[in-house]
Structure 1
Amino acid sequence: MRQASILKPAPASKISRLPDSPSLPWIQVAPDAPYFITEDGQPWTPVGQNDAITWPELEGLFRRKNLAAVEEYLAYLSQHGVTCLRLMLEYAQVKHRYFEKPAGTFNPSMVKLWDDLFALCAKYGLRILLTPYDTFWMWLKWKYHPYNKNLGGPCAGRGQWLLCPDTMAVIKARLTFVVERWGGSGVLFAWDLWNEMHPAHMGNSSESFSRVATELSEHVRDLELRLYGRSHPQTVSIFGPILHTHPDTADTIFRHPLLDFASTHFYDAKTIDYPKNTVDSAIKVGELVREALEHAPENRPFFDSEHGPIHLFKDKKHTLAPEFDDEYFRHIQWAHLASGAAGGGMRWPNRHPHTLTPGMRVAQKNLTGFLDLIHWPTFRRKNLNQEIKVSEPSFAVFGCADGQQAVVWFLRKDALYQRKRLMDPNAAPLTVTVEIPGLQNGHYQITTWNTLEGMVREQFELEVQNASCSFTVPEVRTDVAVAVVKK
């Protein structure tokens, strides 16, 4: 995170800030590893999902219709290891959740909603990855949006959102309002400065990607530094497949010098979007994380900030059965973490209603138990999905390591049943020998982890010689995670 110790915060009297509430330490990028820490040096991992102010668990915020239910939900998330929610400031699928109406006039009911949400999140130790616009529904419902010139707004067409100077002015005014009111809070984990930045938002050209990211980044960071003497981490998200149709966008998304971490949205037509089983999507996630890490600077955190069975849900009007969806979710989060991304990725529910299942919450809690086994602030991981060797070809391998630590996850490819859709918990167990390259010589602790139960399977010590870390994991029926740490 960029430091600004020489800058002094502006006087509080000049700022319309969030009313007093419990404070949380700010989050920053670890100085020596592609992960996150709190300002007091403690490891912090984004574990959570996409949520929305109109979905069932948060809808009680609006006009304080049911704050007790919202508080109960946030307490439940905290109890299940969730640390972060990705949220859009407005949700433009409906007409009564616009943050401004008309453009430039901030909706008092929405401001109060966010006051309450920030206060409740602080109470339960939750943080928000905040993005200022719901660009998906804003695009589809453009004729109703207050920014539309036909309604008195600044923009003549949605293809000019990020090119029109008048529209950029109101975008910056919105960002200014949010920074001044909530930017001093540690509840704000980071900025997703623009949700799914797309050539369609700028004249069907990616030429302005870097310029727009610079303009938004500098506006927010300069204001935060002036007001608070420091700034929150920043990213710009993208719909993942755009990287293949417009490869030049990778320069902005992964390598822009002003951004602090990289985030993309993991969608793939044949697997993640329309899962036929619970294995292929995980394998694709491993491939996508490796591809992302090859793009990004080695010390820049990366994570998927949106994924889910979007084609099956949106186009086919089908909601996955909980048993299948729980396993699909659990496999994706472990593929994401073990491949070298921060946390388990952030699911877009794509369920009816838009809520995660209790089984997914258990999976998140079980992931957070494993997180304590690795010292993330010093873990300079490299993806080793292809380099780690295993004795059994029936395992898909996901892993990352540096010289002193490693995270590995093995997933059986031959243990599917029920028409080859779900894992068979009674599959004949296999013993697998693994070899992880590149670890320094020395004494290591190996911990194997039951991802379904969220508990240690076995723990043993190992002497590594000749930079070859090799050990055996017995009786694996479906999958197993492994933490390797030099003592």
Structure 2
Amino acid sequence: MNWPELDPLFRRRDPGAVERHMIWLRDHGVTCIRLMLEYCQGEHRYLERSVGRFAPNMVQFWDDLFELLEKVGLRVLLTPYDTFFMWIRWRHHPYNRANGGACASQAEWLTCPEMRAAIKHRLAFASDRWGGSPALFAWDIWNEIHPAHGGGDPATATPFIDDVAGWLRAHEIERRGYANLQTVSVFGPELINNPSLAEAIFRHPALDFANTHLYEHGTIDAPADTVTPALAVARLMGTAVEEAGTRPVFDSEHGPIHSFKDKKRTLPVAFDDEYFRHIQWAHLASGGAGGGMRWPNRHPHVLTRGMREAQGALARFLPLIDWSRFRRRNLSKALRCDDPGLALTGCGDEGQALIWTVRTDSLSPQGTLASRETAPLTTLSIPGLADGSYAVTTYDTRRGESTACLEANSLGGVLRVPVGPVHTDLALAVRAVQFA
């Protein structure tokens, strides 16, 4: 398997090691992982050895993994195909018609009737075997849907989703009386190259939430510092939240893919840990669900201990917001402060807000954030909150702990919060005490 920490479960070589890893994830605040049913960068982990013939060792792996997920209390966002490596190594794949498979070329994946039938058959098998597990969070029914998968035509995405998502929902309801959540992921830059894809990704009626992969060129995919990529995430996620409306949205793949894959450079651990931490807070504060999901782009193919600690720090912050009542909208463009060296990202409704602020004027020669000890006193202005009293908790994202509990009043729909000097970055949770 592509994930070294999960690979010992294959042929049950060391299930205990995998269980300990999952417990470690859970203890660092992780609630959901994203996996592909098949990793095809080699020839030894195909889920189907020929179309419709499922490999016993792979089926056993997934049986065991779902059992562990349920035992530990984690969930999985599951996608049926690794379309990246399936594209690159198509000449080897069992679905290739040249190998006796269903489809003649990658350009027909979304449109070929035989390919559609094979996709549905795989999803039916997976749903019938594992779709009733409480560990299944949702189906990502197609990884990084792309115009190239439909002959270069972005319009092929919608009928594909119409067909496959609608069929899967009906199949699950017939079998169990309910359907699991569904989404379709997209390689983020394709939303810029093909804006018409936004309708399918963010608002298709058959999907339950929106899902993007944030690999913006020159900022996120090849970072020169740890702040610019986070501001790119804030901008991209702000747009995604606006596009999705009330529908939840999050990033399920990001990372320094260009640095790692093309430039053959693994980021230094200290730099990468901070790059990760800044991105997850920008993602959350923009209105995204959770902190986003990082593709390691490291050797070995794992997240660092520092990244896991950053996830734990974010998880400890989450109870400060009442998520069951939070109807967030992105506020980033409307936020203000009196320190020109700070960038602000946030979301809120009439009774709560979540803000992350980071210095843009204090980078070290290594591209990491240096503490600005002479930072001025800072007051933040947060619009859109109903008039009344608010409890404001400031939060140190490095240490993962609250630093102050303040009270402030919103007047005229604007809350002004004196937070003091911000030396590096700071998160704020704002909740109404009482309304006017």
Q: State the percentage of identical aligned residues.
A: 52
How far is the alpha carbon of 1:69 from its aligned partner?
A: 1.1
Instruction: Tell me the matched-pair count.
Output: 433
Counterparts of residues 276-315 of structure 1 (less than 5 Å): 276-296=224-244, 298-315=245-262
Q: Extract unaligned runs of 5+ from structure 1.
A: 1-52
Q: Extract unaligned runs of 5+ from structure 2.
A: none
Aligned equivalent of 2:276, options 329, 333, 339: 329
Is residue 88–residue 134 contact of structure 1 (8 Å, CA) maintained in 2? Answer: yes
Is residue 160–residue 201 contact of structure 1 (8 Å, CA) maintained in 2? Answer: yes
Query: RMSD of the alignment, in Å?
Result: 1.0
Aligned equivalent of 1:350, options 297, 307, 325: 297
Aligned equivalent of 1:108, options 51, 56, 63: 56
More helix by share: 2
SS at match of 1:259: coil
Is residue 89–residue 133 contact of structure 1 (8 Å, CA) maintained in 2? Answer: yes
Equivalent position of 1:477 in the other structure: 423
Aligned equivalents of 2:28, 2:41: Cα separation in 1: 29
Equivalent position of 1:366 in the other structure: 313
Equivalent position of 2:265 in the other structure: 318
Aligned equivalents of 2:152, 2:37: Cα separation in 1: 25
Aligned equivalent of 2:86, options 114, 123, 138: 138
Equivalent position of 1:430 in the other structure: 376
Aligned equivalent of 1:231, options 168, 179, 197: 179
SS at match of 2:196: helix
Aligned equivalents of 2:90, 2:399: Cα separation in 1: 46
Equivalent position of 1:269 in the other structure: 217
Aligned equivalent of 1:254, options 187, 202, 209: 202
- Is 2:110 the counterpart of 1:166? no
Equivalent position of 1:45 in the other structure: none
AA aligned to 1:194 is W
Counterparts of residues 204-243 of structure 1 (less than 5 Å): 204-243=152-191
SS at match of 2:201: helix
Is residue 242–residue 329 contact of structure 2 (8 Å, CA) maintained in 1? Answer: no
SS at match of 2:85: helix
AA aligned to 1:208 is T
Aligned equivalents of 2:430, 2:89: Cα separation in 1: 50
Is residue 415–residue 427 contact of structure 1 (8 Å, CA) maintained in 2? Answer: no
Aligned equivalent of 2:343, options 383, 386, 396: 396
How far is the alpha carbon of 1:294 from its aligned partner?
A: 2.3
SS at match of 2:127: helix
How far is the alpha carbon of 1:471 from its aligned partner?
A: 1.1
Aligned equivalent of 2:141, options 193, 207, 213: 193
- Is 2:180 the counterpart of 1:180? no
TM-score by length of 1: 0.88
Aligned equivalents of 1:465, 1:201: Cα separation in 2: 52
- Is 2:397 the counterpart of 1:451? yes
Equivalent position of 1:338 in the other structure: 285
Aligned equivalents of 1:486, 1:426: Cα separation in 2: 31
Is residue 394–residue 405 contact of structure 2 (8 Å, CA) maintained in 1? Answer: yes
AA aligned to 2:414 is S
Aligned equivalent of 2:406, options 460, 467, 486: 460
Aligned equivalents of 1:427, 1:88: Cα separation in 2: 46
C-alpha deviations, 1:228-256, integer Å up to 9, x for none?
A: 21121111111011111111111100110
Aligned equivalents of 1:456, 1:192: Cα separation in 2: 35
Aligned equivalents of 1:328, 1:66: Cα separation in 2: 33
Equivalent position of 1:153 in the other structure: 101
How far is the alpha carbon of 1:426 from its aligned partner?
A: 5.8
Is residue 110–residue 157 contact of structure 2 (8 Å, CA) maintained in 1? Answer: no
- Is 2:329 the counterpart of 1:382? yes
- Is 2:32 the counterpart of 1:84? yes
Equivalent position of 1:44 in the other structure: none
C-alpha deviations, 1:198-243, integer Å up to 9, x for none?
A: 1111111112111101111112111111122112111111101111
SS at match of 1:397: strand
Aligned equivalents of 1:323, 1:85: Cα separation in 2: 24
Larger CA deviation: 306-315 vs 238-247: 238-247
Higher relative contact order at CA 8 Å, sep ≥6: structure 1 or structure 2?
1
TM-score by length of 2: 0.98
